Amino acid sequence: MQDIWRLSAADLAASIRSRQLSAKQAAEAALARLDAVNPALNAVVDHRPDEVLQQADAIDAAFAAGNDPGPLAGVPITVKVNVDQAGFATTNGVTLQRDLIATSNNPVVDNLRRAGAVILGRTNTPAFSYRWFTSNLIHGATKNPRDPGLTPGGSSGGAASAVAAGIGHIAHGTDIAGSIRYPAYACGVHGLRPTIGRVPAWNASSPERSIGPQITAVSGPLARSIGDLRLALTAMAQPDPRDPWYVPAPLEGPAVEKRALLWLRPDGLEIAPEIEAALRDAAERLRRAGWQVEERDTLPPLREAAELQIKMWLADGYDAMLALAEREGDPGALACLRGNRDQAQGIDLAAFSGLLTRRATLTRQWQRVFAETAVVLMPVSGELPFADQLDLRDDASFNRVWRAQMPQIAIPFMGLPALAVSTGLVGRCPVGVQLVAGRHREDLLLAAGEAIEAGGVPASPIDPVA
């Protein structure tokens, strides 16, 4: 039983369905693994073992009665602490919300439960889910299991750390500017940012979000294999009337030519030599799998999209957000908000309208690219995963961090899906690549991701490195 936690979600679900294993055995193994490694990581910040075992017992009882509990039946997963789970606090990493107890589930949690998943625990996030590092004043800091001196990423740092260390088989995360993709990259696993509207989401516990987050923030999965991402997406993407942005698009689109564009330095981004090597290696993996890969120097703007994304995300309600952060006193959140003050302030109605108008233009330009190619291969970040807490060192370090993250920040502005694929290690530092596709073509990302994954990925799950 001690090795159950090592299985892929797909293999575990198949073993439970065939009755080779019980859901209770899987839950017990997951809880034992959590107890063994979470103290070193602080990836899961809230869990209730008795409730976990009750969920597993219900799955076993459903099978015994001849019922089908769903495609994830009995699979332990984690959910991020910024989404509602009935009976738990939706802290979003801030002490101000320690008593914000949800009375209903976020649609993505309901979808996972309807698919038969067993919710193992809730994973850490930086304060306000707003940082490339994961620490806060309520739950503490999360460590990267591959190297505690590296950031686990943010804001879904707890999710990535957990799944890399074998705490659960799939992790839920959220992404408004890279918060799924960067933690996956930093911890050496895979992370999928779905198209806006693909996965329904809504927190009944909290006020309605402003328009920027409504049209750019998504929920999605992190996992140790591309196959498990596909399984998780299918479960997460089921309809729910509570999300007005939900789009009932098919998960499999029409067949297209296996063509990829390689963009090494988006808009002149400086990239580390190890990242260029990873991108060229990923391109060769695609070619070996029958893909045509063409290198490009110029594609529609990304740097402008990243700047506009930050502005749209923060400008609507910036002063109120800053006031909350000052009440909270979290140094990471304050550094991020103050560091982006110039982009977030000074926008009036006419400027905001112009921003949305420009969004339509940039989205159209990118959609025309994807009318001619299946995916674009580009960096996740211009640098290897940062030293933990680098953004707090000084202004130059803060600006260095945000400058390197441009390829992630830009993609949500157009509502596009993207996939971070882990490809290897530099010493014990993970490296990977980003794939981007047209709206609702996650299937193309996963197909290309599988071709890259077949060329080799870092071993996982792993025991945390001291």
Residues marked as catalytic: 80, 155, 179
Phi and psi for 119 in degrees, rounded to 5? -75, 110
- Could you tell me which of 129, 139, 123 has the C-alpha nearest to residue 43? 123
Does the CA dihedral 360-363-369-372 come out positive or negative?
negative
Cα-based angle 282, 286, 292 (whole degrees, multiple of 5): 125
Longest CA–CA span in the chain (Å) reads 62
Can you read off the two tokens belonging to residue 198? 């693909």
Whole-number CA gyration radius for the chain = 20
| CA dist 5 → 104, 123, 166, 326, 420 (Å) | 29, 17, 6, 41, 23
- Cα dist from 302 to 42, 182, 273, 276, 408, whole Å: 35, 17, 21, 18, 9
Contact 146, 460 (CB under 8 A): no
Q: Three-state SS for 19? A: coil
Residues making up the chain, counted from first to last = 466
* CB burial readout 111-141, b (16+ within 10 A) else e: bbbebbbbbbbbbbbbbbbbbbbbbbbbbeb
* 73/286 Cα distance (integer angstroms): 33
Three-class secondary structure of residue 378 per DSSP: strand
Tell me the two tokens of residue 364. 């159209």
Euclidean distance between CA atoms 133 and 108, whole angstroms: 24
* DSSP 8-class letter at 89: B
Q: Among residues 386, 375, 367, 373, which one has the least CA distance to residue 131?
A: 386
